[in-house]
Amino acid sequence: MPTTDAVRARDTSIGETIMDSSGLTDAWAPRLLSVLRIVAGLCFLEHGTQKFFGFPSRTGAAPELMSLLGVQGCLEAAGGLLILLGLFTRPVAFVLAGDMAAAYFISHFPRNLFPVLNNGDAAILYCFVFLYLAAAGAGPWGVDANRGR
């Protein structure tokens, strides 16, 4: 079997073939971390812009700034922008992970036990993506990487 530096195969004692892709993952894992951060930040920012600027359009009026929904909109807009830029990624992502956990249990969980029925799937996914970003950082394509963090 031909081998390359990026992907090598080796036989194990039980006859299976295991792909050793350390060269491939070493090169692409940090970049894909940045892509995950950028996409999550854009999507989260969109929730904030929808609450305050009506973009994309929504039904109902903008929330009062000092209401629970208003504070959530501030967290989404400011936090989404900071995550998108990769600025203060770890602390911001940690706060947003907690925010999404609280949002799930305050708003979604009382409706139904199952996330697919209570529309809480996005809150759960955001929670764990942000928790991952809090541990992993911004990746190479963020402001934090250029600031030496």
pLDDT values of the chain reduced to their tens digit, one per residue, 149 residues: 444 444 444 545 555 555 566 777 888 999 999 999 999 999 999 999 998 888 888 888 888 889 999 999 999 999 999 999 999 999 999 999 999 999 999 999 999 999 999 999 999 999 999 999 999 999 999 999 998 65
- Residues 6, 24: contact at Cβ < 8 Å? yes
**Separation CA 64–CA 117 (nearest Å):** 28
User: pTM value?
Assistant: 0.83
**Separation CA 97–CA 109 (nearest Å):** 16
Q: H or E element: which one contains 129?
A: helix 121-136
